Amino acid sequence: MKSAPQTVNADDFSSRTFDFLIVGGGTAGLAVAARLAEADSSFTVGVLEAGGVTEDDEDIDIPGHYGRSLGGSLDWHLETVPQQGLGGRSLPWPRGKVLGGTSALNYMAWNRASRDDYDAWEALGNTGWGWDGILPFFKKSETFHSPSLDVQKRYDVSHDADTFGQSGPIQVSYPTDYSPSHSLWHNTLNAVGIKTNSSHVGGSNVGVWTTVNAVDPRSAIRSYSTDYCSPAAANLHILTHATVNEVVVQDVDGQYVATGIRFACQGKEHVVSVSREVILSAGSVKSPQILELSGIGNPKVLAQANVPVKVASPTVGENLQDHLMLATIFEVDPLLANRDDLQKDEKLRAAAREQYARDATGPLTILPVSLSYVPLAHFLSEETLAGLFTKADGLTVFDAEKKAILKKRLDGHANLGQIEYLFDLGNWSPYFKGEDGKKYGTMLQILQYPFSVGSIHIRPTDDRSATAEDKPVIDPQYYGGAHGALDAEVMKQCARFLQQKIVQTEPLAGIIRAPASPSAATIADEDRLSEWIVQNTITDWHPVGTCGMGGRAGIQGGVVDERLRVYGVKGLRVVDASVMPLQISAHIQATIYAIAEKGAHMIIEDARDAK
């Protein structure tokens, strides 16, 4: 198991004046902090993390334990407000409250979106954020370990090693062990006309492929952001269990400047000073919350929470986009081993642990890796796509430039991964309980370019000012309004393709016994299927956009500029998933590291130019 980075105490931390203070020791924060510290030994770099340090935590380290930490002691325990588009349901929104952040809790998938996704960011006026501008930073974050020839041959693990990085802190690899259903995946998707993509991180994710994971194959343990700073540089100081109450923003000669951070640790409040910059890397939920608590945001939102306005920034917390997901369950061949067996059988569990401890192989290394990204034009008729295109034309939820990009993806010519399908054995649904004695398989379908757009804001208060202890109001507006109804229609069409084509095609069809959720009767009835989608849609936990890059629209279209500097405040940046102006077609972990690498590079450039 890996060792944890060294931390300091609050009194020592607050007695220093730092060159750079990073709020959030998570996926992006530790990457930024480590790069700043190593760039110049004269820089003093501080990190404040609300969670603690874990060491030798099997639920984090062991790949096969993915998902166990969600909802546990390392989670912020956030949830959405009731979603009208989901029948009034609230959804849990797991986020990591631990050094390493959500990179310590996620499912370890490591992939990139297509070139077009990042070029769309640049097309909005965010210079340098297209594919060519961000690709070097993807590579800088990772060390790719090629699979053995045996794994490549047995499991159809085709890849292009040249598209990966070779010397970054995050170790990425293909598993050595696979779910029994994986051998059926490529042939089934090929049979429905979806080709295998051997270069799935090289600029297009369209096709079927086996995904890479953030796992160090030498030890078969999770690789996450603490690997950037273990051991930490001497000039990097990490304080845990520190809740940031606000960025101290002062008026200096008519210009607002970030001069420090007010935080609480072990019941005592502190203020720590900064001489160069504060960098918010608290994620898509906490970064907008901290900006608003600091007086930076929509004046109406701040007034309702009794927070004095310093900078009127209308889109703080707006532009929230997330991936919507459905888990369709099938009864499968009862002889197939799956992850559920380990939960029920102590002997199997003990044998798996022994094998993992002995040679870092076996069931505890198996991850969900059977992925496919499919353009809607692959299975929707021209007439259906034309109808969706017309509906998108009438929507006003995004500004004109963003809407044009999203609408064009429905014109029938987009070769983009608009829906992701992922299959694995076991029951992944939080709602379907199953029957004893039966085994199940799960097909996930995940909408990549949602029109549903929502917000995250500090909570309104009556007779006091909002505080960091108040959970923010998370309202993704899943399937909300006319734009959300478009997402619901796309999800229904994608569910039809899943039911009528993918699972009816050999060899995958050979292991499927019957539909379980939705039932056969639900599948056959349009209204019942629509209601099932409403009652079963969940999140894939990929929120972005709440401090988005404004591009040509500036502060009216976003929160930060193309160098991630917060509009209206000197010495303050945001570097995390919240800066993405549009959602991407990918699991977002690798992109967050690339944003962190590029953000750190720009901060270092600006610091050297200022000398």
Whether 542 is catalytic is yes
Output phi, psi for 150, to 5 deg.
Answer: -65, -45
| Alpha helix ranges (H) inside 453-505 | 481-500
Q: Positive or negative CA dihedral for 15, 19, 21, 22?
A: negative
211 is in an annotated binding site: no
In sequence order, the β-bridge partners of residue 314 are none
Closest CA to 214 of 589, 479, 472, 504: 589
Structure tokens given for 364:
């505890």
Catalytic one among 270, 457, 542, 601? 542
102 is in an annotated binding site: yes
Contact 422, 111 (CB under 8 A): no
Output phi, psi for 433, to 5 deg.
Answer: -95, -25
DSSP code of residue 319: -
Distance CA 308, CA 465 (A): 9
192 is in an annotated binding site: no
| Alpha helix ranges (H) inside 173-217 | 182-191
Distance CA 603, CA 610 (A): 11
In this structure, the dihedral spanned by the alpha carbons of residues 380, 384, 386 and 391, taken in order and rounded to 10 degrees, is -120
Catalytic one among 270, 323, 483, 587? 587
Contact 173, 213 (CB under 8 A): yes
Distance CA 128, CA 549 (A): 12
Q: How far is CA 325 from CA 57, 99, 248, 493, in A?
A: 29, 28, 39, 14
Strand residues in 410-518 grouped as ranges (E): 419-425, 439-447, 455-457, 473-475, 512-517
Distance CA 160, CA 285 (A): 35
Distance CA 559, CA 479 (A): 25
Which residues does 304 contact at the CB level (< 8 Å), separation at least 6? 460, 461
Which residues does 541 contact at the CB level (< 8 Å), separation at least 6? 93, 94, 102, 106, 322, 323
Whether 587 is catalytic is yes
Rounded to 10 deg, the angle between the 589-610 and 27-39 helix axes is: 30
Q: How far is CA 581 from CA 195, 443, 558, 577, in A?
A: 30, 29, 8, 9
User: Up-side HSE of residue 344: CA atoms within 13 Å toward CB?
Assistant: 11
Structure tokens given for 263:
């935080």
Output phi, psi for 243, to 5 deg.
Answer: -95, 120
SS3 state of residue 205: coil
DSSP code of residue 374: E
159 is in an annotated binding site: no
Q: What is the 3-state secondary structure (H, E, C) of 323-353?
A: CEEEEEEEEECCCCCCHHHHHHCHHHHHHHH
53 is in an annotated binding site: no
Strand 268-280 to 296-297 pairing: unpaired
Output phi, psi for 520, to 5 deg.
Answer: -60, -40
Active site residues: 542, 587
Give the residue numbers of the binding site for FAD: 98, 102, 244, 541-542
Binding residues: 98, 102, 244, 541-542
